[in-house]
Amino acid sequence: MAGERILIVDDNPINLKLARLILDSEGYVVDTANDAEEALSVLAERVPRLILMDLQLPGMDGLTLVRKLRDDSGWEQTWIVAFTAYAMKGDEEKALAAGCDGYVTKPINPDTLLLVIAGFLGKARA
């Protein structure tokens, strides 16, 4: 849904730029962060409707950040989608167990990314 705020957390500048370009072109309001600490700074000021979370980040990894957000009741209305190059058996289950609502693999497929995001933003968060 155009106009919705999305935070992309990814330490790879190419992935960050490409995902932002795709989402900007669809009218989303996009914030970015290069690591978990920067993401927490952004989240202190803005509440996105959805977070695309890279799982392999420097410092605090994405799964730890997801758990931290899920432990804080202020983020129960925010969708979190793992956005990762991890594609090994069991990785999706680990992401979901940590509190992610969905899982999108890299390399980025623009059509798949937009479908996944639209699917989540079209639903109310329980």
| pLDDT tens column, 46-94 | 999 999 999 999 999 999 999 999 998 889 899 999 998 867 778 889 9
- For the chain, first and last CA: distance in Å? 18
pLDDT of 42 > 80? The answer is yes
Q: Which fold has domain 5-121?
A: Rossmann fold (3.40.50)
Residues in the chain: 126
Torsion angle of alpha carbons 31, 43, 125, 30, nearest 10°? 0
pLDDT recorded at residue 124: 66
Weakest-pLDDT range from 32-36, 67-71, 87-91, 118-122: 87-91
pLDDT of 125 > 70? The answer is no
* Predicted TM-score (pTM) above 0.85: yes
Q: Which two tokens stand for residue 16?
A: 């960050």
pLDDT recorded at residue 51: 98
Mean pLDDT, range 20-26, rounded to an integer: 96
Type of residue numbered 122: G
Check: CB of residue 91 under 8 Å from CB of residue 111: no
Nearest to 55 by CA among 64, 45, 46, 47: 64
